[in-house]
Structure 1
Amino acid sequence: MRTHTDSLPGGCGFKFYTEERMALSQQPETGEDLTDVLLCSDNTEIPCHRNVLVSSSLYFRAMFCSNFVESSQGRVNLKGISPDVLCGIVDYVYTGAITISMDIVLPLMQAASMLYYGRLFEACSTFLQEQLSPDNCLSMIRLSEILHCDSLKEKAKEMAVRSFSDVAASEDFCELSLPELMCYLEDDRLCAEEEQVFETLLAWIHHDPFSRRGAIHDLFKKVRLRYIHPTYLFQFIANDPLVQSSTLCTEIIESVRRLMLSVSAKCGRELKPLWTTPRRYTCRETLVVVGGRKNNEQTSREALLYDERTQRWQWLAKLPLRLYKASYVCIHSILYVVGGLSLSMASGDSSVSATVYTLSLKTNQWRTAEPMLEPRYAHQSVSYLHFIFVLGGIGVDKQISNSVERYNSMFNQWEAMAPLPTAVLHPAVAANDQRVYVFGGEDAMQNPVREIQVYHISRNLWSRLETRTVKNVCAPAAVIEDKIYIIGGYTRRMIAYDTKANKFVKCENLKERRMHHSATVINNKLYVTGGRFLNGHDAIEDSDCFECYDPKTDVWTSKGTLPYKLFDHGSLPLVCVSNRPNPP
């Protein structure tokens, strides 16, 4: 139950109402003698003052100040308004306060609408908004449409998209009309992964398959296929009987399959509107830091997530074991930890690993995936479309390797690719526009390699470009639009390679000579974490630094610090679904 206090509209109206209430409270018998109209409902009669009613409502102003018959009548019968509701409204008019409960709110809201008490109508709307839940929000939307209450409708719709998982399980959901369901599925605010969007539309169709199965194509086009894991898309969705029954649906899936198999970032005119649709607003990128050397003591099993809203770090599930110089990559909103040197704390033994561990923020559990073809550590990994490329590193023979393999997430398998022309350790690696770029690094004699090695994904071929500009070792690379940023590497320098213009652009320097750090891109900004740096005395120190670079302003800003000093770690953007709106 809720008590709402409000004043009548208009400055002079409120003043008159206040003086009248004081007069009535001081001389109740005189106040009743001065009433000049009876408001009636069933057998209830309530004495009132015309001038008070006129000042409080446009409805009564029209009734008593125009040529309506009620203007000269002493009794006015208000049909459709119950005695309890009428008494409540009269109390509201004279005292500015009213008690709203679930028993009375709907007839009170209807009466407030009829009598033009706008503030009372909105007070009822506010009361109903406070009762909103995933179970009743769809019913509230229908009610708001009947009552023509936009504020209630918007709040109920906001809850429906924010709590979509719970709402989709409610009884009301399956009763939605096709246009209503389409409206939800195309809403950018919908808090759901695309796999769930597909499963929801299936459940809606199966509720009444005879009349609804023909809607599969229109609904299927609302699923943002680009953000669905290929295994789920081609094994589950493609084989669903409803999808297979629609020629148009199967044609869309085959177009996506051809697009992925061609390793092309471009798509046909018909598929483009479906493929280029952006992620929903509730799917936001968040920074995850994993592994590395912690406080220069031991290889870390920690995984941390940075919450931009609270600017705090949260601990995720720990890696199953300690891995020295593993590689870290993200694809399909899943974090992959690839290979590394596994260390046994008990025996002190170590072995080169081909194992791949994965972490999903949805489950916060580590699992093993298909292992690499070759064990390796101190290697590099990079993702592109539905592929993960693993390059070089050190194998079981303790030699620098030039081998390359890639993981195809469509088929869940690894395959050997053309080897690196020059075997290098600790290069800067990035993928863009159907190419993998390998900048610099060092050879087996620890000499800097001043060249760019470019892998053409669709042709499985390498090319090389010697350049004096490249002189980086233990530096990360990251892509923003068509520029690849190489951040430090035993230097303060950061340069950007423009892949379209084939030239380097100098950027604002780092504060220290940095190496063994990590970098990633979130919302077109570059985030750099940890590493090691050379201080003013040329001594190497570990860092807990956390910085952000904005390419639009060419400015570095501090984001605080990591919870501990860290280097040789992974820093990645993982997409998570959040029912909280994104910050402006």
Structure 2
Amino acid sequence: MQSTAGVTVCCDMACKADSEQTPQSFRLTGLSEQMNKQKEDESILQVKDPEPVIPDATLQVEGESFYVNRQCLAHQSPYFRALFFGCGVESSRRKVEIKGVGLQHFRVLMEHSRTSRLALDRENVLGILETADFLQFERARLLCCKFLERELHLSNCLGMMAYAWQLGCTQLYTAARQVVLTHFAAIVAEEDFLSLPKETVAHLLASDDLAIHKDDLALEATLHWVSFDSKREEHFLELIELVRPESLSLSFITELLTRMKSSDPRAKLICKLNEHFPASWSVGRSMRRTRTRETLFVLGGPHDQDIPKHGADGPLHRHLH
């Protein structure tokens, strides 16, 4: 405590000595320079009021008129650039009717074009996104996608992924797909999974980022999706090629072989797998999934004694140990 007090006193005395030796004029000059510098910084930070934009055209949507500046809208949207300065008849008109958009969403986008503010909520975001996509307001489109990214959930990520793909919203599609890959076990149980097109199921199964510990789930998901519609049986072997046999567990293979002679509705598919063994499974090891932490089954492993005799004459038995 004494040493600390001593340091404080010495500092105070040193400061006092400096103060006595510093000319008053120097201190005032320094203070004046600091005040001038502060004023300069404040002037730099001040945002000048934008110059008023003079409307030179009228847009009509569902009977309501919007007075706009053509150059301003053309700068924000290729749609309006082509409308106002293209070769169409609208380029020579000062009053143009916009069809194919809703009044409420158009009004929000016109406000955004003037103020850069976009009022989004769960009720209007999809409508505004589609309208912004139609009118090619790219910044508004990106803001809508960002909003939807924050709303992603297990219950909507599959639908959002398809929706984003349809609109070409790459970042939203990637975000939704990542949720699906990360929570695949829960997603497979969702009813929407059964409605996915074959191409989407294939892309998910082929991903190295599919977050599953064993490919048992990948194979089970394939059986689940194919058995939902008999017309999908023609895609079964193609999808099975994407399952990584090194990551199949012995217990799951045992269960598959048992199902072949059971009343399980998927027994037909399992028999088909046994009879038409995927060529890729016999070639060699496939790349492990990034998130797979352990491989419970390895091709060529010493586990013959653990395989049951059901279906012992088929490729499923011969190649899966």
Cross-structure match for 2:221: 200
| 8 Å CA contact 2:158, 2:176 repeated in 1 | yes
Partner of 1:36: 56
Mapped partners of 2:234, 2:271: distance in 1: 9
Note the C-alpha offset of 1:117.
1.7
CA contact (8 A) 2:158 2:193 kept: yes
Separation of aligned partners in 2, 1:98 and 1:281 = 39
Paired residue for 2:155, among 135, 138, 145? 135
Whole-angstrom CA distance in 2 between matches of 1:232 and 1:145: 35
Amino acid at match of 1:205: V
User: Any conservation in 1 of the 2:241–2:280 contact (CA below 8 Å)?
Assistant: no
- Is 1:238 matched with 2:257? yes
1:84 aligned residue (74, 96, 104): 104
Partner of 1:165: 185
Whole-Å separation in 2 of the counterparts to 1:113 and 1:141:
17
1:114 deviation in Å? Answer: 2.6
CA distance change for structure 1 residues 226 and 250 in 2, over 3 Å: closer, same or farther? Answer: farther
**Residue identity opposite 2:220 in structure 1:** E
For 1:66 and 1:181, locate their aligned partners in 2 and report how far apart those are by CA, in whole Å: 43
Q: Please list, as runs of the form range in 1=range in 2, the aligned pairs for 1:483-494 lying within 5 A after superposition.
A: none
- Name the CA shift for 1:242/1:124 in 2 (closer, same or farther; >3 Å): same
Give, as a single letter, the amino acid of the residue that structure 1 aligns with 2:277. I
Q: Report if aligned partners of 2:244, 2:281 keep a CA contact under 8 Å in 1.
A: no
**DSSP 3-state at the match of 2:160:** helix
Of 253, 264, 286, the match for 1:277: 286
Q: State the TM-score, normalizing by the size of structure 1.
A: 0.40
Name the SS of the counterpart of 2:258 in structure 1.
coil
Contact persistence 2:184–2:211 (CA under 8 A): yes
The structure with more helix, counted as a fraction of residues = 2
**Equivalence for 2:171:** 151
Q: What is the alpha-carbon root mean square deviation over aligned residues?
A: 2.7
Aligned with 1:86: secondary structure? Answer: helix
Label 1:87 to 1:200 Cα distance change in 2 as closer, same or farther (>3 A).
same
Deviation at 1:23, TM superposition (A): 4.5
Cα distance in 1, alignment partners of residues 151 and 280 from structure 2? 44
Pick the aligned partner of 1:332 from 283, 289, 296: 296
Could you tell me which amino acid in structure 2 is paired with residue 249 of structure 1?
Answer: N
State the aligned residue count: 252
Matches within 5 A, 1:159-558: 159-192=179-212, 193-208=214-229, 210-233=230-253, 235-240=254-259, 241-246=267-272, 248-250=273-275, 252=277, 271-273=281-283, 275-284=284-293, 332=296, 385-386=301-302, 409-410=306-307
Question: Hey, what's the Cα distance between the residues in 2 that align with 1:271 and 1:49?
Answer: 64
Tell me by how many angstroms 1:244 deviates. Answer: 4.5
Structure 1 residue 186: deviation in Å? Answer: 1.7
1:408 Cα deviation after fit: 5.3
Q: 1:54 Cα deviation (Å)?
A: 2.7
Q: Kindly indicate whether the alpha-carbon contact (under 8 Å) linking 2:61 and 2:102 is maintained by their aligned counterparts in 1.
A: yes
Q: What is the alpha-carbon distance in structure 2 between the residues aligned to residue 252 and residue 198 of structure 1?
A: 14
Amino acid at match of 1:236: E
Sort the Cα spacing of 1:201 and 1:75 in 2 relative to 1 into closer, same or farther, 3 A: same
Q: CA deviation at 1:170?
A: 0.9
Which whole-Å CA distance do the structure 2 matches of 1:244 and 1:83 have between them? 55
1:98 aligns with 2:118: yes
Q: In structure 2, give the amino acid aligned to 1:119.
A: R
Measured in 1, the distance between the counterparts of 2:140 and 2:203 equals: 31
CA distance in structure 1 between the partners assigned to 2:219 and 2:270 by the alignment: 14
Residue aligning to 1:369: none
Letter in 1 for 2:71: N
Between the aligned partners of 1:93 and 1:74, the Cα distance in structure 2 is 19
- C-alpha deviation, 1:65, in angstroms: 2.4
Classify 1:130/1:75 alpha carbon distance in 2 versus 1 (closer, same or farther; 3 Å).
Answer: same
CA deviations on 1:79-131 (whole Å, 9 max, x unpaired) are: 11222212211211111111112222222222222322212111111111111
Q: Deviations over 1:379-413 (max 9, x none)?
A: xxxxx9346xxxxxxxxxxxxxxxxxxx95547xx
Secondary structure of 1:133's counterpart equals coil
| Greater strand content | 1
Superposed CA deviations along residues 537-584 of structure 1, whole A, max 9, x for unmatched, are xxxxxxxxxxxxxxxxxxxxxxxxxxxxxxxxxxxxxxxxxxxxxxxx
SS of residue in 2 equivalent to 1:108: helix
Aligned amino acid, residue 122 of structure 1: L
Give the 3-state SS of the residue equivalent to 1:279 in structure 2: coil
Q: 1:37 to 1:251 in 2, by over 3 A?
A: closer
Does the CA-based 8 Å contact 1:40-1:76 persist in structure 2? Answer: yes
Matches of 1:271 and 1:56, distance apart in 2: 53
Asked if structure 1 preserves the Cα contact closer than 8 Å seen for 2:105 and 2:127, the reply is: yes
Identify the residue that residue 314 of structure 1 maps to in structure 2.
none
SS in 1 for 2:293: strand
State the partner residue of 1:422: none
Whole-angstrom distance in 2 between the partners of 1:81 and 1:109:
11
Asked if the contact 2:226/2:232 (under 8 Å) is kept, the reply is yes
Cα distance in 1 between the residues matched to 2:268 and 2:249 = 20
The answer to whether the Cα contact below 8 Å between 1:40 and 1:77 also exists between their aligned partners in 2 is: yes
Distance 1:271 1:205, change over 3 A: closer
- Map of 1:12-51 to 2, 5 A cutoff? 22-24=50-52, 34-51=54-71
Q: CA separation of 1:206/1:123 partners in 2, compared to 1, >3 Å: closer, same or farther?
A: same
Q: 1:252 is matched by which residue type in structure 2? A: F
